[in-house]
Structure 1
Amino acid sequence: MKLITIGKMKNILMIGVLLFGTLLSGQELKYEEVVTVDSTATKDELYNRARNWIGSNFNKKTSSVEVDDKVLGEISASGIIEYRNKKSYFGSGCVEGPIRLTLSIYLKDGKYKYSFHTFDHQGSGGYGCRKTDYGIITSAEKAPKPTWGEPNEKAWNDLKDVIDMNVQLNIKDLKEAMNKKHETSNDW
């Protein structure tokens, strides 16, 4: 029989606490999917389509392309969803503000993978209140304790609804763009 030392026991306990905390707080909110397109679409063609879509849909003032690698077939860009509450609730003005996000697109011949992730909320504050930041948005049902004030389930759910609506529209638009030949591939 092996004895577990106090040091090892502390390490095991610490790992357990971290895993349990992660399960309680939920996983980082992500929207990702592998999409198969026309098998004749090369990685380069899909790169051109994705690059064109990002250039048209990500506001130059509030977004930037972080990774742009045609050889590896990867594009990552950051952008912002301006959160304005759709539902009226106490302290809603304190929560309104930008939600920074990252979009990564990975490309291979005949398919691509998109991932909308790292939704980072920062409240801008409102009249008579301090800003309330929720930070990285997770899939947790319960609101985490924000940087200021008490967790608010209405704010938390409204934030996630606005993210979902925005991302679903972008996914639909991206899929349409990824199925259209890039202008340089057309016969003119």
Structure 2
Amino acid sequence: MRKIIVIIMLLPVLVMGQKIPFNQEAKDIIYDSVYEVNGTKDELYTKAKVWIADIFRSSIRVIDADDKESGLIVCKGNIKYTVVKDGIKGRGKRRSIEKFKVDGSADFNLKIFLKDNKCRIVVDGIQIPMLEEATAAGLGDLKAEWAMLNSITAIQKDDTIEERVRFNNYQNRDIAVNNRIGDMMHSLETALNKKGDFDF
């Protein structure tokens, strides 16, 4: 049964034109993209700080490293997501699957590297708060989920309805988190390309 609980991160889920980016060397899920953007390193730094304050409400609480001279900002972030989950209704042969919406959140590390007309955005250390029993099984830490399994890639024909539901729920959750991280990275890229507040 444990195989189904942790399997989903192994699926080659294609979202926003890319798979969930598992880094084999680091054994971790790492989003790492370089963007061409408009502005000097100092201009981009100011825009990034404004974006962080807007997105995370208080940039003071989330920023771990802040080096304007080298163009580096490292912070901790949290994103909210909504996912459609499956639930089992009824008993015995009358059981059926019904769908319902659930809100969740994911914590992560965000690293922003800036230089003239260029930006690198790295998101890693993704953690999804889970129920106590799931945390004890090593779930919620996407890196741990990947490390626990390396071969199963699909629901098996003889899996129970509970296993199928659990499998689908983890798949849907990971797609939702992947979408939100992609949206966030795109939002930062857009903010860096906009005219600054002082460009008037």
The TM-score range, normalised by the shorter chain, is: 0.5 to 0.7
Give the SS at the match of 1:132. helix
- When residues 66 and 153 of structure 1 are mapped into structure 2, their CA distance, relative to the original with a 3 A threshold, is same
**Contact 1:28/1:136, CA 8 A, preserved across alignment:** no
Tell me the alpha carbon deviations over residues 118-163 of structure 1, each in whole angstroms, 9 at most, x when there is no partner.
101221x3xxxx54231421484759xxxxxx9x433432231121
Compute the TM-score of the two structures, normalised by the length of structure 2. Answer: 0.61
1:29-48 correspondence to structure 2 within 5 Å: 29-38=29-38, 41-48=39-46
TM-score, scaled relative to structure 1: 0.65
> 1:132: which partner in 2?
134
Report 1 or 2 for greater relative contact order, CA contacts < 8 Å, sequence distance ≥ 6.
Answer: 2
From the superposition, tell whether residues 59 and 157 of structure 1 become closer, same or farther in structure 2 (CA, over 3 Å).
Answer: farther
Give the match for residue 179 of structure 1. 193
- 1:116 corresponds to 2:123: yes
Distance 2:167 2:57 in 1: 30
Instruction: Determine if contact 1:59/1:79 at 8 Å carries over to the other structure.
Output: no
Corresponding residue of 1:164:
178
Q: Which runs of 5+ in 1 are unaligned?
A: 1-21, 144-149
How far residue 53 of structure 1 moved from its aligned partner, in angstroms, is: 0.6
Work out whether 1:103 is the aligned partner of 2:110.
yes
Cα distance in structure 2, aligned partners of 1:49 and 1:31: 21
Structure possessing the higher radius of gyration over alpha carbons: 1
User: Number of paired residues?
Assistant: 147
8 Å Cα contact 2:109/2:125 also seen in 1: yes
User: Gaps spanning 5+ residues in structure 2: where?
Assistant: 1-22, 89-101, 154-162
What is the identity percentage for the equivalent residue pairs of Structure 1 and Structure 2? 26
User: Between Structure 1 and Structure 2, which shows a larger proportion of strand residues?
Assistant: 2
- After TM superposition, which residue ranges in structure 1, 4 or more long, deviate above 3 angstroms? 82-85, 95-98, 138-143
Match of 2:55 in 1: 57
CA RMSD for the aligned pairs?
3.3
